[in-house]
Amino acid sequence: MLRISRLTDYGTVILVYLAQRGDRLCSASDVAAETHVALPTAQKLLKVLAKAGLVESTRGSEGGYCLARPPSSITAAEIVDALEGPVAITECSTEASQCELESMCHTGGAWQRINQAIRDALADVTLDELDCPPPAARTPAHKTAGVTARQQR
């Protein structure tokens, strides 16, 4: 259905939470408790985010995670890239793969354009914008105004 994975969704919530905490370190347990993401899942996500360089980790007692950069410099595109790999609408956008079977593959350029447009849209939103529902302005004409779902398990 052309959606981001649940893990990416959870990961975003976690990042938003870390953004709210500022520079203070948060253990994985803290994050899980506050965001209502299952602990093992939160641990997994924090590991991935750390490897991607979006959060920094401190080991040992009193250790924990915090954002590696200010929230205004982290974009949705980076988050998606970190959690589910580079955006690639069509299959061959990433790998060479066995295409061009007799050059009958007429679809191509346009999907690349769409892909780029999506990337642009993602790059345009930063973490601090994800923090809170829009400041009453922006684009108020949305039909399905429900808030993002999130379930415990």
List of residues contacting its own copies (CB under 8 A): 1-4, 6, 9, 12-13, 16, 20, 34-36, 76, 80, 84-101, 104-114, 116-118, 120-122, 124-125, 129-134, 138-139, 142, 144-152
Per DSSP, what are the bridge partners of residue 126? 75
Residue 50 as a binder of DNA (CB under 7 A): the answer is: yes
Whole-number Cα distances in Å, 142 to 119, 125, 126, 139, 145: 21, 17, 20, 7, 6
Contact between 118 and 89 (Cβ < 8 Å) = yes
Query: Which listed residue (53, 63, 86, 108) binds DNA by CB under 7 A?
Result: 63
Alpha-helical (H) ranges within 22-84 are 28-35, 39-51, 76-84
Regarding 10 and contact with DNA (CB under 7 A), the answer is: yes
Backbone angles phi, psi at 56, to 5 degrees: -115, 145
Of 23, 59, 98, 109, which lies in the binding site for DNA, with binding defined by CB under 7 A?
59
Asked if 35 and 14 touch (Cβ cutoff 8 Å), the reply is yes
Of the pair 24, 138, the CB lying nearest DNA is at 24
Q: Does 115 contact DNA by CB under 7 A? A: no
Which parts of this chain interact with DNA (CB under 7 A)? 1, 5-8, 10, 26-29, 38-41, 43-44, 46-47, 50-51, 57-65, 84, 153
